[in-house]
Structure 1
């Protein structure tokens, strides 16, 4: 669906009409804005407000009433019924002499299947219970679906509670538009038209000043600017993306608005793998995921496809090949509340940007570029550590070997088949090394990667410096240790020789006097320059800390 239609029903009963194509010179050409217009703030977020219709010239949440849970708190879940009209409704909606609408035909089996698929996903993703009911003369759904003949549009609908009769929420598709009637797979033009019209039926307006057959109103409103008023961001837009793809689901701004209206559910709960291929480039997709350890896997994309992935919420990735053979651009988006933890790449060289989580990057062969962003991020390799070489490059790291040549930044860990390497010596890895040196002595750091791995796991999980020091002392000396044992251990490991009675006395006095706890004394010892020297902290910063 390349929707170049819609306006925003600012008056009660106004119909939202939609076209599948905008031709040069059409009378309903609309105004565009270089930046967003936010004349009537409702939620305060222009991305949401551009898709919601409020009562005329009102602001604030109280101005919102064109949604099925009107009268209840915004975000309240609600049941909405729908049905497929078996005959022309007694209250009308299918006939309008002014716009040339006429006739009636019920939805065919394929149209019904597409609607049920959409309604099922809406029920899983949002606080909407979309329930199909029977359709008769006096009993029918709040949203009714039917076909008719339309001279100026390919489909139209009404916002909830926007008419004085039961037309509110009804969806009508044009019988003269063949895409409306068959081949209604997700990502097809007809499927996109259904998404768009159902968006209206749930309370979403167009994000610009336009409506099929009537042009723009020229009145103040909430409108997106030209950079965002397109189907890349919202299926409710008239403007197709540069690549001409259709959406297979709502866009990121649509999800923001629908979650604001009806709340959200734990959609795609659990560990979910989102696998993409060259064919992904033919559609506009979105990842909306409520929980779990989730993965974007582009290993099925060929060298002909685009392979640029951004895992941050509210961003776009370019994955696959368009229908014309060109590389797809910004065709996969990440919902604003979604966190994806893992990336699996191709053998052709990829570009990936991580998010704030602790990301795992499985990079394939070729020249890859990975930016881990925030969090403790790990790049995973298949070969043994000896088969790779690393070199610092302007704040990052170049890793080569076994067919890979990767440029890494903001990556804290490398994993190989036989061991792992912690690069964040200025962070958690350094803290772990300093504790190991102070409590277990310097040789342990390089001779026992298992101990390094245990310490790293604890600090990565959020254990405090003092608590980790206490755990180390428990393991080294036991829970019943004396102050004398602690002072002797720490002094010996730091200075290289046991303390004399005079050397130990001031530390013991502070322990018995309560100035120090064993943990705080241990932290002080671990942070000394002598400890940094004896564990060769500077050298570790160059080589990394080996752990398993």
Structure 2
């Protein structure tokens, strides 16, 4: 057990040979897998080392001898323990709180002191054989003394960051005292990838000095590096877990899940979201999170949900908005929920087998036939080379039938026409409004000519006077609108046969995005 004079001891850990890990390694880790921590309540010499390998004589002007020494409040202690738990969730390491005595203190100790520079939020001593290794000092002249350390705050992120140092992680950028150490490239030296970074930016490169909501867990690169030091926590979330997100809360985290055959990300909100089930890839779920410059949002939202490396989440359920879902290399159940939802498939259409099922579709990339995904409530499929509309019982069906009735069956293969129609339908135009939009595109206003056009496209021949006169009369006397009559034509059995609606249900409707 550590005391004011001794630590539990540290051991060296060689580099991994992987830059994204090595850029965060300082070279040492704790030698034990059960780390005591404590909250000092006194700066008496009975509790601190006065030796040269410790804090030195009390005549020194550094911590802990300053008169500004103070113990953490109970609220800050509670949030500190929460931050410790976030690290414990991902690594094979236990943290055990001890009550301090002259013969027994923690390896990790946290207290307040003062540093004149208010921009210095806190500082930490790395794992070592010295009694000060692992100690964390919070500057009471900084922002950490002005706000609660609640998850999502800069203060909570700072405590996560300092605990990363206490466990053996370094900053990912260049160290002028040791320029040979590995560093991250600029696109990864960012707090959305590692809380050990000092850079706040979105994926477009817009920078600021904070986030509207800060990370509440170690992030993807932190988890990979800390697991290299201590090994993963293989007992955390080993069942079939559901990660539920809603609109009542804001999120900024990385998911570590050690097992389970059917884990699910479920978004129960109404905002458009991106759910990507691939490990180390970004998702945007729920309330948007922004880079901020002095409290002002900058640029586009940042990814706020990540999945750690070597983690498999099998299923995704979207919300009420227009969501994008992306599967991974395992069998996925992908449910878009309400809205116009899209599955993104990272392959060309001719490399994928798509089959209609009772309540949706199944899809598999031909190079991996054992990986068949199930799609429910998915209206669109985006391949590398084209897009398919799958909602032939919804907007896509209305568009296909209207194109057949107004322009002729062959125009159902016109991806631009389909794209224009889908765009209008997805904007919220009713079936009748969409039909009026299609008729307007022909520039026909004469009722006789409109009826003739519809009849010709349905039956392949011009109508006789007696055949068309009842419909012309209905339009002339406002018994039916132009859009209403066009819908009747579109819904006819003849039109469904002309456009091969049954076949379109099986294959989907190809389109291009317009506008």
Q: Smaller-chain TM-score range?
A: 0.5 to 0.7
Matched, 1:82 2:37: yes
Task: Tell me the TM-score normalized by structure 2.
Answer: 0.59
Deviations 1:487-536 (A, max 9, x none): xxxxxxxxxxxxxxxxxxxxxxxxxxxxxxxxxxxxxxxxxxxxxxxxxx
Aligned residue in 2 for 1:110? 75
- Which residue in the other structure is 1:158 paired with? 125
* Alignment CA distance shift 1:167-1:347 (3 Å): same
2:200 corresponding residue in structure 1: 240
1:355 to 319, 328, 333: 328
Task: Report whether the alignment pairs 1:226 with 2:226.
Answer: no
Q: What root-mean-square deviation, in Å, do the aligned CA atoms of Structure 1 and Structure 2 show?
A: 3.5
TM-score normalised according to structure 1 size: 0.56
CA deviations 1:296-351 (Å, max 9, x no partner) are 1223142xxx5122110111112232377886321211101111111111232111
1:338 aligns with 2:311: yes
Q: CA deviation at 1:394?
A: 5.8
CA distance in structure 1 between the aligned counterparts of 2:386 and 2:392, rounded to whole angstroms: 20
Match status 1:271 vs 2:240: yes
Alignment partner for residue 375 of structure 2, among 374, 379, 383?
379
TM-superposed CA distance for 1:266, in Å, is 2.6
State the alpha-carbon separation in 2 of the partners of residues 156 and 404 from structure 1. 58
* Pick aligned residue for 2:274 from 303, 308, 313: 308
Is 1:45 aligned with 2:18?
yes
CA distance 1:327–1:220, change in 2 (3 Å): closer
Residues 113 and 238 of structure 1: CA distance in aligned 2, closer, same or farther (over 3 Å): same
Q: Offset of 1:369 from its aligned partner?
A: 1.7
Query: What is aligned with 1:16?
Result: none
2:325 aligned with 1:329: no
Supply the distance in 1 between the matched residues of 2:248 and 2:162 (Cα, whole angstroms): 26
Please point out which of 17, 24, 29 is paired with 1:67.
29
CA deviation after TM superposition for structure 1 residue 377, in Å: 0.6
For structure 1, the residue ranges without an aligned partner over 5 or more in a row are: 1-39, 55-65, 70-76, 211-215, 383-387, 407-538
Q: Counterpart of 1:199 in 2: which secondary structure?
A: helix
SS in 1 for 2:221: helix
Alpha-carbon offset, residue 206 of structure 1: 0.6
In structure 1, C-alpha distance between the alignment counterparts of 2:276 and 2:145, rounded to whole Å? 34
Deviation at 1:393, TM superposition (A): 11
Find out whether 1:199 has 2:155 as its counterpart: no
Instruction: Give the deviation of 1:155 after TM superposition.
Output: 0.4
- Displacement of 1:204: 0.5
CA distance in 1, matches of 2:252, 2:187: 17
Q: Distance in 1 between matches of 2:110 and 2:155?
A: 14
Greater CA drift, 119-128 or 167-176? 119-128
1:93 CA displacement? 4.9
What is the CA distance between 1:222 and its match in structure 2?
A: 0.7
Residue 343 of structure 1 aligns to a residue whose secondary structure is: strand
Cα distance change, pair 154–67 in 1 and its aligned pair in 2 (3 A): same
Question: CA 1:147–1:399 in structure 2 vs 1: closer, same or farther (change >3 Å)?
Answer: same
1:348–1:167 Cα change, 3 Å: same
Alpha-carbon shift at residue 183 of structure 1 (Å): 1.8
CA distance in 2: counterparts of 1:391 and 1:217, whole angstroms:
49
2:100 to 131, 135, 140: 135
Superposed CA offset, 1:233-280 (max 9, x none): 111111123372411010111100111111112312212222223466
Counterpart-to-counterpart distance in 1, 2:268 and 2:150: 24
CA distance in 1, matches of 2:42, 2:256: 37
Segments of structure 2 that go 5 or more residues without pairing to the other structure are: 1-12, 203-209, 291-295, 347-364, 366-370, 398-501, 508-515
- 1:250 is matched with 218
1:174 pairs with one of 139, 143, 150 = 139
Q: Out of 234-243 and 270-279, give the one that drifted further.
A: 270-279
Aligned CA distance change for structure 1 residues 139 and 405 (closer, same or farther; 3 Å): farther
Matches within 5 A, 1:141-540: 141-152=106-117, 153-161=120-128, 165-180=130-145, 182-209=147-174, 216-217=176-177, 219-242=179-202, 244=211, 245-264=213-232, 265-278=234-247, 283-292=251-260, 293-302=262-271, 306-319=272-285, 320-322=287-289, 328-372=301-345, 375-381=371-377, 397-401=388-392, 403=394
Q: Which has the higher contact order (CA 8 A, sep 6+)?
A: 1
Deviation at 1:366, TM superposition (A): 3.3
CA drift of 1:391 comes to 13
Distance 1:201 1:231, change over 3 A: same
Q: CA separation in 2, counterparts of 1:391 and 1:81?
A: 51
Q: Go from structure 1 to structure 2 and tell me whether the alpha carbon gap of 1:261 and 1:301 turns closer, same or farther (over 3 Å shift).
A: farther
Shift of 1:116: 1.7
